[in-house]
Structure 1
Amino acid sequence: MIELEGLTKRYGEKVAVNNLTFTVRPGIVTGFLGPNGAGKSTTMRMLLGLDRPTAGDVRIDGKHYDQLKDPLKYIGALLDAKAMHGGRSAFNHLLCLAQSNGIPRTRVHEVLDTVGLTAVARKKAKGFSLGMGQRLGIAGALLGDPRILMFDEPVNGLDPEGIHWIRNLMKSLASQGRTVFVSSHLMSEMALTADHLVVIGQGRLLADTSMADFIAQNSRSYVRIRTPHRDRLVDVLQRAGMTVVQTGSGPLEVDGGKSERIGELAAQHQIVLHELSPQQASLEEAFMQLTAESVEYHAHSQAPPEQRQPWGDGWRKEG
């Protein structure tokens, strides 16, 4: 288990992490989300003792990281897949880590096989592709067979097969009762992997909740309906206390009603339906809604060529 209490980190006047308090529990995959500059990497570095907190506390199974003997047996982490000696082979890179933490040599062979790098175990890491480097970094995290795993952008550089593999690996580790904490900007993948979410913005905690509750609380759910009898159906639904949004001549959108009840009402009044489908926002849409005020870096779409004027910081249209 990972426990943060009032965790704060300042760099001069800049507050990178602001009074974070949350717990990452075993048995589930916990996603760690936030816009660029939100403080995710700084938080993870403090978990591993790479940065010292300005205030607050963080503990790994009740201890500070520097109190752990053979820390790879407690927590395995992938923060930077390039953090390795390029002149060493994959095997020797892992062997050095193993020897520094009292891990047997046989375990190196096991994790290389787990991540699919046995065939290139004797090749130098500097010749590895980004995806192969990610696999080697994951092997390092697994090396001590720890109860806690922490991954920062684990699918970076992986092909579709690799993404499917790491997703199933994280779920398998959690099902074994381990603590799995993963940060990623790939929302579609996080939606398929995480059970629980911790979301931060500008260093502050924005959400600490289940995936389902996060989406429900930060997005609009409605039922989409297509029917050739629009006016009749609108009248029926409004009399039943439902809010109907009419989108021109397109489908109806109904707030405050379940699709089963809408279908029953339509059947009772002999109204033909061509579509009746519940609509739920994606994790990406819910995330964008929650963090809109916390985004530090904003990109702006370009104006059409005829509206651009080449001066100043960008392009602008003459008034």
Structure 2
Amino acid sequence: MIELSGLTKRYGLKTAVRELTCVIRPGLVTGFLGPNGAGKSTTMRMILGLDRPTAGRALVEGRPYARLIDPLTVVGALLEARSVHPGRTAYHHLLCLAQSNGIPRRRVGEVLDLVGLGAVGTRRPKGFSLGMGQRLGIASALLGDPRILIFDEPVNGLDPEGIHWVRNLIRRLASEGRTVFVSSHLMSEMALTADHLIVIGQGQLLADTSMAGFIEENARSYTRVRSPDREGLLDALTHAGLDAVPSRDPGAEGAWELEGDRTAAVGELAADRRLVLHELGHHRASLEEAFMRLTSQSVEYQAHVGAEEG
């Protein structure tokens, strides 16, 4: 378990993280979301003792990271996959980590095989591709078979097969009762992986809820209906007191949309009026749309469509 209590970090006049309080629990994949500059990396660095909080505290298994004995057996982390000694082979990079934490030598070969690098363990990481470097970083995180895993952009640079592998690995680790904390900008991947979400903006907590609860609270829910008799359908909806607007989806030209799930009411109305329907369904916005809606006022850098180039 990871506990953050009033966690705050200031750099001069800038507050990167402001009074962040939450609990990352075992047995779940907890997604950590926020716009660029929201304070995600700073938060993770404070959890791992790499940055000292200005105020508040971050506890791992009930104590600060600096007070852990053999920390790699408690917490495994992937923050910067390229943070390896350029002169060491992949095997010796992991062996050095293992020996400093009392981890058996055999574990090095096990994690290299687990991440698919067993055949290149004698190569130096400076020649690795981005995806191979990412796999080595994941191997480092898994080396001590820790109870807590922290991953920052774990699928960065991976091909589709690698992304699928990481997704299954993360979910398996959580199913074993471990605490898994994952930061990613890939909303589609997070939607497939995370059980719980912690969302921050400008260093402040915006949401701490289940994936389903987050989408329910922040995503638009609507009913889309389409008929060859478009105006007849609108007239029927209006007379029934059902407010409809033209669909905003370019792929649903000619359709009407109603807020919420009104499929039953619209279906019964169409049957009574003998209206032919080509489409009737309830839709809910994606995680990405829900995230954009919640964080729209917390984005530090915004591009403006149509802005003149200087």
Do both proteins adopt the same fold according to a TM-score greater than 0.5, normalized to the shorter chain? yes
The letter for the 1-side match of 2:37 is: G
Does 1:290 pair with 2:304? Answer: no
Match of 2:267 among 252, 263, 281: 263
- Kindly state the Cα deviation for residue 231 of structure 1 after the two structures are TM-superposed: 4.1
The unaligned stretches of length 5 or more in structure 2 are none
Q: Following the alignment from structure 1 to structure 2, what is the Cα–Cα distance between the partners of residues 227 and 214?
A: 33
* TM-score, normalised via structure 1 length: 0.91
- Kindly state the Cα deviation for residue 103 of structure 1 after the two structures are TM-superposed: 0.6
- Kindly state the Cα deviation for residue 236 of structure 1 after the two structures are TM-superposed: 4.3
| 1:189 alignment counterpart | 189
Q: Following the alignment from structure 1 to structure 2, what is the Cα–Cα distance between the partners of residues 115 and 240?
A: 59
Counterparts in 2 of 1:214 and 1:157: CA distance versus 1, 3 Å: same
Q: Following the alignment from structure 1 to structure 2, what is the Cα–Cα distance between the partners of residues 240 and 59?
A: 57
- Kindly state the Cα deviation for residue 272 of structure 1 after the two structures are TM-superposed: 1.4
SS in 1 for 2:213: helix
SS in 1 for 2:192: helix
| 1:137 alignment counterpart | 137
SS in 1 for 2:169: helix
| 2:96 alignment counterpart | 96
Q: Following the alignment from structure 1 to structure 2, what is the Cα–Cα distance between the partners of residues 232 and 298?
A: 43
The letter for the 2-side match of 1:3 is: E
**Conserved? CA contact 2:37–2:300, under 8 Å:** yes
**Conserved? CA contact 2:222–2:284, under 8 Å:** yes
Matches within 5 A, 1:155-170: 155-170=155-170
Q: Following the alignment from structure 1 to structure 2, what is the Cα–Cα distance between the partners of residues 205 and 87?
A: 41
**Conserved? CA contact 2:222–2:283, under 8 Å:** yes
**Conserved? CA contact 2:2–2:59, under 8 Å:** yes
Q: Following the alignment from structure 1 to structure 2, what is the Cα–Cα distance between the partners of residues 86 and 107?
A: 22
**Conserved? CA contact 2:76–2:144, under 8 Å:** yes
1:207-234 per-position Cα deviation (integer Å, ceiling 9, x unaligned): 1111122122222110111112334444
- Kindly state the Cα deviation for residue 241 of structure 1 after the two structures are TM-superposed: 4.8
Matches within 5 A, 1:148-159: 148-159=148-159
- Kindly state the Cα deviation for residue 41 of structure 1 after the two structures are TM-superposed: 0.5
Does 1:48 pair with 2:48? Answer: yes
SS in 1 for 2:296: helix
SS in 1 for 2:209: strand
Q: Following the alignment from structure 2 to structure 1, what is the Cα–Cα distance between the partners of residues 266 and 294?
A: 30
Matches within 5 A, 1:210-289: 210-238=210-238, 241-247=241-247, 250-289=254-293
Does 1:9 pair with 2:9? Answer: yes
Count of residues in Structure 1 that have an aligned counterpart in Structure 2: 306
- Kindly state the Cα deviation for residue 191 of structure 1 after the two structures are TM-superposed: 1.2
Q: Following the alignment from structure 2 to structure 1, what is the Cα–Cα distance between the partners of residues 31 and 162?
A: 19
**Conserved? CA contact 2:219–2:293, under 8 Å:** yes
- Kindly state the Cα deviation for residue 280 of structure 1 after the two structures are TM-superposed: 1.4
The unaligned stretches of length 5 or more in structure 1 are 309-313
Q: Following the alignment from structure 1 to structure 2, what is the Cα–Cα distance between the partners of residues 51 and 14?
A: 15
* TM-score, normalised via structure 2 length: 0.94
The letter for the 2-side match of 1:291 is: T
- Sequence identity of aligned pairs in percent? 68
| 1:39 alignment counterpart | 39
Moved more, 203-212 or 233-242: 233-242
SS in 2 for 1:8: strand
1:237-275 per-position Cα deviation (integer Å, ceiling 9, x unaligned): 455553322359710101133324432332343221100
- Kindly state the Cα deviation for residue 235 of structure 1 after the two structures are TM-superposed: 4.6
RMSD: 1.7
Q: Following the alignment from structure 1 to structure 2, what is the Cα–Cα distance between the partners of residues 258 and 165?
A: 39
Q: Following the alignment from structure 1 to structure 2, what is the Cα–Cα distance between the partners of residues 240 and 120?
A: 68
Moved more, 243-252 or 47-56: 243-252
| 2:60 alignment counterpart | 60
The letter for the 1-side match of 2:71 is: P
Q: Following the alignment from structure 1 to structure 2, what is the Cα–Cα distance between the partners of residues 80 and 289?
A: 29
